[in-house]
Chains A and B, each alone.
Chain A
């Protein structure tokens, strides 16, 4: 029974990890930008959900409808106004730039929202469901379904919509895409906007489960990093596989060698993957 419980915990948590990582993976894999603001975007999304519920009693699933366009706009503008200026520079330049922007964003959050933890507590609480002795909290289930939904929407955008195909085309061959009439700057901004929107939505879902503080942004960013390396960049299904793998390692590792070492274990695996399989489980060669 314990094994079944740990497995279910890992599956649910894995979907949430995938949701945290997918926007990060998109931006890294497609734009070749390691967006260190990603964790702060997630935290901002969580604050948005918390604020809407606290002041207007708007449930987090409705907050998603606001978070998606709002964060898309923020991401779009950041890309157009700031990042686009250095998009063709080596990856270290964009990395440093997003690091600096994240410092500003995170410190602004600490200043205005304080370092204290906030918690979005739904009234009445959603409780848990129990099946054959295996218990799953309903809020995690709701967040998991929503996370899977978001992942599927991104998949459809990239596969079915013209803008999605343009995003992939620009990543594969920027010059050829220009010749085919693709506006590269707009496409990059749309991709970055999508990444930000996914981060904001992930934040809304995380607010249902975890406490909210600007300081948690590093934890989210760390998870996103590991998931991307495990799953592979530029792959929607890779993010999902990476998320579930990470949650499994943490869950089983915690039971086998103690919770204090679970994070160490996941980072050790990350190093192994970087050496043995840098493209990740489902990533495409050339995207690593």
Chain B
């Protein structure tokens, strides 16, 4: 009896100690919530984002953590899988705030889910950085706590159009095929505007449903119009499928552009020879040469750290996730506080060069300081065509 009472008392004491230890450690940690589509059709993209966040967290913790008022806080990232289901992304975001008690948030993947979840983070006034949302509709909601590291979609299509019209004056007719989804459709609409502004004829503009497996009828129609420029948007799996079915139907064009897939090494590996001369644009490229003030320093150092950890070359999605973390770190340190409003104000005032490029958020929270690179797959490698400072080669015509 005495023994059991002793045992129960010591258990209570141990439990209290445990609580106080965990409470103490909770104080030394800054929790970042990252709802991601870790399963489902968007899983490949989610894994990239996770890699980017993890690399940043590892570097930040290696350096002792984030310094706030003379004290160092470790970084902890809380992940949750919303299974590529946007309504679930919203639910997960709310759960992270109310149950996981995260201090700050990274948005779910892509413009659609980021926009949907932003209403929740705004409601709870949680500073949030969207690492993969570019559509201006995400930022035009008048929200104060949302920031994004991707420039608007037209910053991709306009430089691409300028290169094509300058180097290929015979290109007059464009066909645009877009995945019926917020980001791919928005970028296709920007492409239509850029093409029309450059005096090109948009002979075909159609959307395909999410999950479409067979594009043969659509591609036959495009082929019959004989456009000199075929522009397709979607995610990597859509674009691989379309590119393969284009090759199946022997569709050739002087210019073929695809967003967003060719920036990923997986696209080049899977498409093989049919990836050759496909043009694209993205928000960052490993060839970038910025000397940043963030935890990663130079772009080259970021590429090295990424390669050491993951044995592969980072692309824009991974880099954007890493820079989102690094920006939070800088803003928290600048604010000298974990107070959400102070960190929000520090983010809004940031004007800094990072390994990702110059970062300054516009009045709506979307970055407005970057010049995204345009590139082309040449000899199974992405070659940067613009901007001039990181140019690696010249534009080539002809996609077979």
* Interface positions of A (Cβ within 8 A of B): 1-2, 5-6, 9-10, 13, 110, 114-117, 119, 121, 125, 128, 130, 135, 137, 139-140, 210-211, 213, 215-216, 219, 250-252, 254-255, 258-263
Residues B216 and A9 in contact, CB atoms below 8 Å apart:
yes
Residues B217 and A115 in contact, CB atoms below 8 Å apart:
no
A9 to B216, CA, bound (A): 7
Residues A128 and B248 in contact, CB atoms below 8 Å apart:
yes
**Among candidates B41, B208, B212, B248, residue contacting A215 with C-beta atoms closer than 8 Å:** B41
Residues B41 and A2 in contact, CB atoms below 8 Å apart:
no
- Sample 14 A-B pairs with CB under 8 A, ordered by A number: A2-B224, A6-B220, A6-B221, A9-B220, A10-B217, A117-B240, A128-B248, A137-B249, A210-B241, A250-B214, A254-B221, A259-B217, A260-B180, A260-B208
Residues A260 and B206 in contact, CB atoms below 8 Å apart:
yes
**Among candidates A5, A128, A211, A258, residue contacting B207 with C-beta atoms closer than 8 Å:** A258
A258 to B221, CA, bound (A): 10
Contact with A along B164-207 (1 / 0, CB 8 A): 00000000000001001000000000000000000000000011
Residues A1 and B224 in contact, CB atoms below 8 Å apart:
yes
Residues A130 and B250 in contact, CB atoms below 8 Å apart:
yes
Tell me whether A254 and B218 are in contact in the complex, defined as CB-CB below 8 angstroms, given that A121-B272, A215-B40 are known contacts.
Answer: yes
Tell me whether A255 and B211 are in contact in the complex, defined as CB-CB below 8 angstroms, given that A117-B237, A260-B180 are known contacts.
Answer: no
Q: For residue B176, give the distance in angstroms from its CB to the closest CB of chain A.
A: 12
Residues B250 and A115 in contact, CB atoms below 8 Å apart:
no
Residue B67 at the chain A interface, CB threshold 8 Å: no
B180 (CB) vs chain A CBs: closest residue: A260
Q: For residue A258, give the distance in angstroms from its CB to the closest CB of chain B.
A: 5
**Among candidates A216, A251, A260, residue contacting B213 with C-beta atoms closer than 8 Å:** A216
**Among candidates A125, A128, A251, residue contacting B217 with C-beta atoms closer than 8 Å:** A251
Residues of B within 8 A of A260 (CB): 180, 206-209
Q: Which of B216-264 contact A (CB under 8 A)?
A: 216-218, 220-221, 223-224, 237, 240-241, 244-245, 247-250
**Number of B interface residues in the complex (CB < 8 A):** 35
Q: Which of B36-78 contact A (CB under 8 A)?
A: 39-41, 43-44
Residues B209 and A211 in contact, CB atoms below 8 Å apart:
no
Residue B270 at the chain A interface, CB threshold 8 Å: yes
Q: For residue B334, give the distance in angstroms from its CB to the closest CB of chain A.
A: 39
Residues A115 and B39 in contact, CB atoms below 8 Å apart:
yes
Q: For residue A136, give the distance in angstroms from its CB to the closest CB of chain B.
A: 8
Tell me whether A250 and B217 are in contact in the complex, defined as CB-CB below 8 angstroms, given that A121-B272, A211-B241, A260-B180 are known contacts.
Answer: yes
Q: For residue B398, give the distance in angstroms from its CB to the closest CB of chain A.
A: 19
Given contacts A5-B223, A258-B207, 13 further A-B contacts (CB under 8 A): A9-B216, A10-B217, A117-B237, A121-B272, A135-B249, A210-B213, A210-B241, A211-B237, A219-B211, A251-B216, A254-B217, A254-B221, A255-B217
Residues of A within 8 A of B215 (CB): 259
Residues B209 and A263 in contact, CB atoms below 8 Å apart:
yes
Residues A259 and B241 in contact, CB atoms below 8 Å apart:
no
